[in-house]
Structure 1
Amino acid sequence: MFGVTTPAVDAARERLTELGYEVLVFHATGSGGRALEGLVESGLVVGVLDLTTTELADDLVGGVLSAGPSRLTAAGRRGVPQVVAPGALDMVNFGPDIPERFEGRTIYVHNPTVTLMRTTPAEMAELGHRITAKLRQATGPTALFVPLRGVSALDADGMPFHDPKADQACFDAMPDAEQLDLHINDPAFGRAMADRLHALIGGAS
């Protein structure tokens, strides 16, 4: 979960709870991603709904919320069913100041201590390639869902990070993905991911 994907995660969590699962939510703040990977490695989870993969953007570009290069690998290595989405890949996280090398980039000041930077088409393409490569190495069942109308609350029509060209660069690098004509925060998107995870867990048991 991240603030800009909360509605999607809430919808997925509600659906999984209806289906009888005990759901644990991790915040995509670097430490949260590492905690998720660690719990998956412990063998204590039956499935992973990895909707908010934004930590990968920080790892690629140099933001402050990276969970390291091993993010999005534990479930694949352990054979745990997983359903993944490019949630909040449109942003890289910094503190109050952006490094000088990023001068001229699209910036959004979230609050006095958090500044967000929009990922470029090239960065989005690389993120798409990285996610695809990680999932193709998985030993268990996987599914990748793409929200064609935006990957975060800031990446919606009329919002400061809305950039269909950049998003499409990411989606083009995900040929294995199931594309839904929805915004990531449309409740139907989170429910679709939850239902697919339930199906994958059933097939893996």
Structure 2
Amino acid sequence: MGKKAVLIGALDTKGEEFRFVKNTIEACGHATLIIDTGVIGDPLFQPDVPADEVAAAGGSSLEELRRGNDRGTAVAVMTRGAAKIAAELEREGVIGGAFGMGGTAGTTVASAALQALPIGIPKLLVSTVASGNTRPYVGVKDIMMMYSVVDIAGINKLSRRILSNAAYALAGMIRETGKEEEAVDDRTTLGITMFGVTTPCATRVREALEKKGYDLLVFHATGTGGMAMEELIKAGYIKGVADITTTELADELVGGIFSAGPNRLEAAGQSGIPQVVSIGALDMVNFGPPETVPDKFKDRVFYQHNPTTTLMRTTVDENRVLGRILAGKLNESAAPTVVVFPKGGVSLLDVTAKPFEGIEERQALYEEIRQHLKADIPLIEMEQDINDPAVADMISDQLLKLLEHSKEG
């Protein structure tokens, strides 16, 4: 028997539904392992990992949670416990795929367990909140969320179909040990950041590096993209970075929707891997539809990228701050680092006669980077804009040199 499908959820309130999914997956030929996260009552059927073990892993006990009768505390404890147990099972090589389902509480607990698993292990979450903001539940992991449409409350004509689809989907993703072994790929993996407005540059860099035998992962710089890349750097998966599109720094500074958090642009430096950094799309801050843009920005320069994405031009003052932020982060780096500054424009919109053309803004950004960047970090100035082939070639050439030097070292 191969690895198991691990099911995570409350068997006191969702026992019937979990038993249905369990039986469906087992009918497909996969063994299951059930983790019970229920606190209120007894499980409908016997789990492999009982709720008291989950509570203990979360730093409490089932008796204490029941005695306290506080839902928030119980959810927090079971969330920690489920994540800890899932990570331990993964280290033991047990998990072939993982499944969770529930409302807001069940989704919170199960998603923490799924996020504790490495990228690549199949993860599926059936949830009543899957049609809303799923970022807190998905994070930077490859979690599939399926909207339950109706509440998860019994097996009926509709829920039977939805849960069957979910169970079959997970079963189809799980590979039995010894079957369809992946071809060995010993290429060095590199990361690239890209936006629509830096696509020509990122594409040319990717193609150049692929021709040299490298495996390229391209991350869309939408907040979660930058976070995912940095997570994979910390995990040792990525060995070098062409950080072309650092736009997430602007969203973090100004309050846009594509922030990657305060630690963006730090993982490569902390991990000591080669990085070539540029200033792609620092001309913009991202918002949703026009009506979602805060009133305080009403007098700014905007560009409607599409019906759901409104771009706002960064100011001279914001670019000064961004230059200091970028330089400061790179100054802390323990990695071989090069900065490439395209003085002709930082995106497809920041060039002559385009909506975000900003000579003063670029100059402010450049001056702050030049003034604050450590002298031992090369700052390569180019007259072209970021999407000019010469800039892409400079980025790929510089990264290749850093990678070769790190091999020799």
* TM-score, length basis structure 2: 0.50
Question: For 1:197 and 1:83, how far apart are their aligned partners in 2?
Answer: 6
Question: For 1:187 and 1:104, how far apart are their aligned partners in 2?
Answer: 35
Equivalent residue in structure 1 for 2:215, among 8, 15, 22: 22
Question: For 2:398 and 2:212, how far apart are their aligned partners in 1?
Answer: 12
Identity of aligned residues (%): 50
> Secondary structure of the residue that 1:149 maps to in structure 2?
coil
Aligned residue for 2:59? Answer: none
Question: For 1:40 and 1:201, how far apart are their aligned partners in 2?
Answer: 15
Question: For 1:181 and 1:4, how far apart are their aligned partners in 2?
Answer: 18
Equivalent residue in structure 2 for 1:75, among 268, 278, 292: 268
Post-superposition Cα deviations, 1:104-128, rounded to whole Å, max 9, x if no partner, equal 1001111111100000001011111
Q: Show the 5 A alignment for 1:1-205.
A: 1-96=194-289, 97=291, 98-175=293-370, 176=373, 177-205=379-407
1:201 Cα deviation after fit:
1.1
Post-superposition Cα deviations, 1:111-152, rounded to whole Å, max 9, x if no partner, equal 111100000001011111111111111001000000010000
Count residues in correspondence: 205
Question: For 2:396 and 2:316, how far apart are their aligned partners in 1?
Answer: 29
Question: For 1:118 and 1:90, how far apart are their aligned partners in 2?
Answer: 6
Where does the alignment leave 5 or more consecutive residues of structure 2 unmatched?
1-193, 374-378
CA RMSD of aligned residues (A): 0.8
- Higher RCO (Cα < 8 Å, 6 or more apart): 1
Amino acid at match of 2:332: Q
1:19 Cα deviation after fit:
1.4
* TM-score, length basis structure 1: 0.98
Runs of at least 4 residues off by over 4 Å: none
1:188 Cα deviation after fit:
1.5
